[in-house]
Structure 1
Amino acid sequence: MDSLPVLIYDGDCGFCTRSARWAERLPVRMRVLAWQEADLAAYRTTPDRARHEVLWVASSGRVFGGAAAVAELLKSCRLPWPVAGLVLSAPVVRALAGLAYRGIAANRYRLPGGTPACRLPEAQRPGRSARP
C-alpha cells in the first residue's frame, strides 16, 4: 500500500461512480477505488462499512466515512477546497452534513446517475451474487 490517500466508493452504484469521477477531477493526489475491487482489510475497513458509506483513508491510515470522508477529501485539496472541508467539519455543520449524507445515501438510486441496482441488496445486484 502506498502513502497516497484513498477514496473508496460503491462501484455498483451509478450515482456513487459519478460522484467518484467528479472527485477525481479535484486538485488532490489520491487513489480512487471501488470497494468491490479494493483490499479492504489492507485499508483497515470492512465490506459492511464500505457498502453503506464512501470512505476516505488518509495517508496516516485513519479511515473516515460518509460526510466526514467528503470533508477530509476536500481538506486534502488545493485552495479553495480546504475551506469547504473545514466548514463541513465545524460542529453544527458536521451534524447537518451527516444528516444530509444519510438522506442522500438512502435515496441514491433516485438521484441523477443512480440505478435500480443501488436499491438492491448486494447479493441481488447484477453480476455480484457470487461474491463472498
Structure 2
Amino acid sequence: MPVSSTAAQRKYSAELLYDRDCGFCVKSAHFLQRIDRRGRVRIVALQQAGATERFGVSRDQALEQAWALDSRGERHAGAGAVNAVLSGAIGTRLPLLIYRLPGIRQLQDRVYRWVADNRYRLPGRGGTCAIDGN
C-alpha cells in the first residue's frame, strides 16, 4: 500500500527548550541548527515568554535539564531530549531508538547529568547569548 503524500510530509520533528544564559547550551543549540538542514528542529529559549508553559514544565525544571516536544506529542527530558532533537535534525529517529536500548539509556543519562551539572564550566560563550533572537 503506497504511503499517502500527507503521511510522507509528516516527518519527525522536535522543539528544544534550552537555557540561553548557558554558553554551552547556546553552543549546542547552534550545532543543532547547523545540522538541521530541513528545518525540523525549533529552538526555544526558556527565557522566552510562555516557553516553559508550552513545554509543560516549571522554570526550575527547565533550568535543571533540557526538554523537547516531538511531532508525535511526546515530551522528552535530559538525554532523551537531546536524542529527540538530534533525531529531528538528522531526519531519522535512530538516535532516539538507540537511546531507548537498555544500558544505553542509563549511560547517556549519567553523561547528560554530568554535563548538566557542569554546563556553566564547559566551553561556550556565556552571558545572555541568544539564538536568532529567541
Which TM-score tier does this pair reach, normalised by the shorter chain?
Answer: 0.7 to 0.9
Residues 66-124 of structure 1 deviation map (CA, whole Å, 9 limit, x = unaligned): 10101112222445x64333322212010010000000111112211164x6xxxxxxx
State whether structure 2 residue 61 is matched by structure 1 residue 52. Answer: no
User: Which aligned pairs between 1:34-73 and structure 2 lie closer than 5 A?
Assistant: 34-39=45-50, 40-73=52-85
Q: Is the 8 A contact 2:32 2:89 kept in 1?
A: no
- In structure 2, the partner of 1:32 is 43
Q: Is the 8 A contact 1:5 1:56 kept in 2?
A: yes
Following TM superposition, where does structure 1 have runs of at least 4 consecutive aligned residues deviating by more than 3 angstroms?
81-85
Q: 2:26 aligns with which of 9, 17, 20?
A: 17
Residues 3-62 of structure 1 deviation map (CA, whole Å, 9 limit, x = unaligned): x63111001111111111111122351210110115121332221111111111112432
User: Which aligned pairs between 1:118-129 and structure 2 lie closer than 5 A?
Assistant: none
Higher relative contact order (CA 8 A, sep 6+): 2
Distance of 1:74 and 1:32 partners within structure 2? 12
Q: Which amino acid aligns with 2:28?
A: S
| C-alpha RMSD of matched pairs (Å) | 2.2
Distance of 2:102 and 2:49 partners within structure 1? 31
- In structure 2, the partner of 1:88 is 99
Provide the identity percentage.
35
More divergent stretch after superposition (12-21 vs 28-37): 28-37
Q: TM-score, normalised on structure 1?
A: 0.73
Distance of 1:52 and 1:83 partners within structure 2? 26
More divergent stretch after superposition (101-110 vs 20-29): 20-29
Secondary structure of the residue aligned to 2:57 is coil
Number of aligned pairs? 113
Q: Which runs of 5+ in 2 are unaligned?
A: 1-12, 129-134
